[in-house]
Amino acid sequence: MPRSAPRPCTQLGCNALVRDASGRCPKHPREPWVKPTAATKRITGRRLQAMRAALFARSPLCAECERQGRVAEATERDHIIPLAEGGQDEDENVQGLCAPCHDEKSRAESARGRWQPART
């Protein structure tokens, strides 16, 4: 199978050619993602399922769609302030979202997290 053409390193100012899929030369490796030490521990299991059921019983519609004048069923339990950014796993910090709204919010949070320095 033919190899793809070498590409420049994605580090700003580096013109070294990279022949693998990493996009970085050996001088500029990507730092591995590390979970922030201050991140709130996630709730799992039956307790989480009970919290989801209570949320959807209390507010069955997507909160973001309601803000925009649309109607959609909430299927995802979402943290308004993400746990990785210091949010708490409490009723005041959760909302029900439909899958498309949740995916969009998650993509935005992910992009924001990639461009911020790691918190410790």
Answer whether residue 58 is part of any domain: yes
Q: How far apart are CA 75 and CA 65, in angstroms?
A: 12
Q: 80 lies in a domain?
A: yes
- Is 15 among the domain residues? no
Tell me if 96 sits within 8 A of 77, measured CB to CB.
yes
Residue range(s) defining the domain that contains residue 89: 45-114
Question: What does the pLDDT read at residue 1?
Answer: 56
The mean pLDDT of 3-9, rounded to a whole number, is 85
With respect to residue 39, please indicate whether it lies within any of the assigned structural domains. Answer: no
Give domain status of residue 23, yes or no.
no
pLDDT of 55? 96
Rounded Cα–Cα distance for residues 76 and 74 (Å): 6
Residue 10 lies in a domain: no
Q: Is residue 33 part of a domain?
A: no
Average pLDDT over residues 8-15: 89
pTM for this entry: 0.64
SS3 120: coil
Which has the minimum average pLDDT: 18-32, 33-47, 73-87?
A: 33-47
Residue 67, in any domain of the structure: yes
Rounded Cα–Cα distance for residues 75 and 63 (Å) = 11
Which of 16-25, 34-43, 55-64, 84-93 is predicted most confidently? 55-64
Number of structural domains, the chain?
1
